[in-house]
Amino acid sequence: DVQLQASGGGLVQAGGSLRLSCAASGLSLRDYAIGWFRQAPGKEREGVSSIDNRDGKTLYADSVKGRFTISSDNAKNTVFLQMSSLTFGDTAVYYCAASRFGHPLSLASVAHWGQGTLVTVSS
């Protein structure tokens, strides 16, 4: 079975940093793009960033460009999301997801979802 285990969320002050991890089992990062999505209270789930080791491409939503960095450790089958200069607007449940086809930040492309990890930014 495919499992995506997200971790690293927590409470942080505005301007602070957090690193999220997504540990994958039952699939290889060489075969899938891994994306981070988030859902704030009362809002729709949105794509934040993705990495595709098949072609080396990374993508970022405009709202996080320059502040978030995605990376992967293929030996550990884990993807990381380093988040810096966090703002109250980054407060959300963050999910990692795997896709093989389509745009990796499109909800419709997701083949496997992980459980979420809550990020709370205090102002």
Could you report the per-residue pLDDT of 48-68, keeping only the tens digit for each? 999 998 998 999 999 999 999
Beta bridge partners of 121: 12
Share of the chain above pLDDT 90, in %: 96
Identity (one letter) of the amino acid at 100? R
